[in-house]
Amino acid sequence: MASQHFDVVIIGGGISGTALLFALSRYTDIKHICLVEKEPELALINSHGRNNSQTLHCGDIETNYTLEKALEIKASADMLVNYMLKQGGDQQLVHRYPKMVLAVGESECQELRDRHTLFARHFPYMDLLDAKAIGRIEPMVARERKDEIVAIGTENEYAAVDYNLMAKSFVTAAQELPNKTIDIRLATAVQSIDLQQGRFRLDLNGHEIEATSVVVCAGAHSLLFAQRMGYGLDYSCLPVAGSFYYTPQVLKGKVYTIQDDKLPFAAIHGDPDLLELGKTRFGPTALILPQLERYRLNSVLDFLRVFKPDLRVAQVFWDLFKVKEIRRYMGKNILFEIPGIRSRLFLRDARKIVPSLKLSDLSFAKRVGGIRPVMIDKANRSLLLGEAKISPGNGIIFNMTPSPGATSCLANAIKDLQIVAAHGGHRIHQDQLNDELLTPQPPAKNTAQP
């Protein structure tokens, strides 16, 4: 029997794969698309709200971003807001509430003031807030505070997303379009991909389908698929897990802290949990784990397959661990996982955000927190922070998506859409795409009083 043929097959039903499904079906004339997901539901791995920080990254409170990166991520975030306003029905997919980045102590405060001078023109809704203004928005942040504090913040901006809901909404929006065949296969793992005579053949547990183009949005597993086909052999993977701690509700919005320049992993923040109503969540921690998916023991073997240690990988580890601050930080993050001592240790970090927190307020969030598959670029002997894409030019694309991969899902989907449309000779509905997704969001009027 001939295999069923699709214009495009997407592997992975997280936020990346579902955003691409939506973009291809709405903004191109591609008709037959199949999305294959190994789990029984969409977006259960890193895109589930339990496993990520639920942040719509806009570059305004993340001091680990340069101005250039901040503007790029803001444009990606605007696409999600545009999607919600124009396509998402009346679902609350993106939440508005206060957000700020907090500086504690003289040197951080000076750094933040300088950052505000540089960023203010581009993020006019963000104000420089003194202790009094901070206390009015987030009383618990200013209470019992000995050191000087300053923040850059706003009271009512788009700040948080339940990416699991967003992923489901993308699929529904695609399925509602007329004249399109959208085939969603859940609980179906892709075993292998072969390229034969210009067509891709995918083995789905013994059942075969064919495609003109394939986009692999399988998180860290994308690299495994690539390497099995002989691509991406110059990459290895450093999986960085993130855990969280719960407290009773002490914050109204997101409070980020200043990034330590010496550390490649984002500093912790606190925010209201969209899924555990009435709780504030602090984190994420940063723990190197030999797994491609958190809490999935069978992904240890997959990690070993992509890790492929050699002298170049050893050099990257040496460069990381020769820095005293990174060694200390990684050691501390291991201790953050050990029952009995972890809450006591984490309390010190969480108190930077809410000084009055008590040990009894903190509880480790069990089985919460995913894995950021940070790529190791062997050729340049460096870590590639942010998303990575392998596109050999023959109709297959592999996406690896550490943070802020959820925020960038539509921006990344549009890059893939262009590659896939060109490969298959399809038309892009560019005017509609510009009109619906690419218009920048006008900045909301700030209500915070500096």
Ligand X SMILES: Cc1cc2nc3c(=O)[nH]c(=O)nc-3n(C[C@H](O)[C@H](O)[C@H](O)COP(=O)(O)OP(=O)(O)OC[C@H]3O[C@@H](n4cnc5c(N)ncnc54)[C@H](O)[C@@H]3O)c2cc1C
Q: Is 52 in the site for ligand X (CB under 6 A)?
A: yes
Q: Is 232 in the site for ligand X (CB under 6 A)?
A: no
Q: Is 13 in the site for ligand X (CB under 6 A)?
A: yes
Contact 254, 137 (CB under 8 A): no
Residue located via tokens 């038309």: 427
The CA-CA-CA angle for residues 327, 148, 362, to 5°, reads 55
**Identified binder of ligand X from the candidate list 140, 159, 190, 448, rule CB under 6 A:** 190
Contact 222, 216 (CB under 8 A): yes
**Identified binder of ligand X from the candidate list 6, 10, 17, 265, rule CB under 6 A:** 17
**Identified binder of ligand X from the candidate list 47, 82, 154, 247, rule CB under 6 A:** 47
Q: Given the rule CB under 6 A, which of 48-56, 109-117, 318-326, 339-347 is the region that contacts ligand X?
A: 48-56
**Identified binder of ligand X from the candidate list 8, 23, 50, 53, rule CB under 6 A:** 53
Q: Is 49 in the site for ligand X (CB under 6 A)?
A: no
Cβ-based neighbours of 174, under 8 Å, separated by 6 or more: 21, 22, 25, 26, 33, 180, 182
CB of 314 to ligand X, least distance (A): 25
Using CB under 6 A as the binding rule, the residues of this chain from 337 to 376 that contact ligand X are: 369-372
At residue 240, the 3 state secondary structure works out as: strand
**Distance of alpha carbon 306 from the chain centroid:** 21
**Identified binder of ligand X from the candidate list 57, 99, 168, 426, rule CB under 6 A:** 57
CB of 412 to ligand X, least distance (A): 8
The CA-CA-CA angle for residues 246, 248, 254, to 5°, reads 70
- Classify residue 389 as exposed, middle or buried by CB count within 10 Å of its CB (0-12, 13-18, 19+): middle
Q: Given the rule CB under 6 A, which of 33-41, 106-114, 309-317, 318-326 is the region that contacts ligand X?
A: 33-41
Using CB under 6 A as the binding rule, the residues of this chain from 374 to 433 that contact ligand X are: 401-407
Decide whether 109 or 252 has the Cβ nearer to ligand X: 252
**Identified binder of ligand X from the candidate list 128, 131, 189, 300, rule CB under 6 A:** 189
- Classify residue 244 as exposed, middle or buried by CB count within 10 Å of its CB (0-12, 13-18, 19+): buried
At residue 149, the 3 state secondary structure works out as: strand
Q: Is 64 in the site for ligand X (CB under 6 A)?
A: no
Decide whether 33 or 142 has the Cβ nearer to ligand X: 33
Q: Is 46 in the site for ligand X (CB under 6 A)?
A: yes
Decide whether 142 or 253 has the Cβ nearer to ligand X: 253
- Specify which residues 204 forms β-bridges with: 207
Three-state SS sequence of 202-214: EEECCEEEEEEEE
Decide whether 8 or 218 has the Cβ nearer to ligand X: 218
Decide whether 29 or 337 has the Cβ nearer to ligand X: 337
173 phi, psi to nearest 5 deg: -60, -40
At residue 223, the 3 state secondary structure works out as: helix
Q: Given the rule CB under 6 A, which of 43-51, 106-114, 327-335, 354-362 is the region that contacts ligand X?
A: 43-51
Angle formed by the axes of helices 15-27 and 409-424, to 10°?
Answer: 50
Using CB under 6 A as the binding rule, the residues of this chain from 150 to 169 that contact ligand X are: 163
Q: Given the rule CB under 6 A, which of 51-59, 151-159, 352-360, 421-429 is the region that contacts ligand X?
A: 51-59
The CA-CA-CA angle for residues 74, 52, 243, to 5°, reads 130
Give the span between the Cα atoms of 179 and 420, in whole angstroms.
19
CB of 57 to ligand X, least distance (A): 5
Using CB under 6 A as the binding rule, the residues of this chain from 257 to 296 that contact ligand X are: 284
Decide whether 59 or 402 has the Cβ nearer to ligand X: 402
Binding site for ligand X (CB under 6 A): 11-17, 36-39, 43-47, 51-55, 57, 163, 189-190, 217-219, 221, 242, 284, 369-372, 401-407
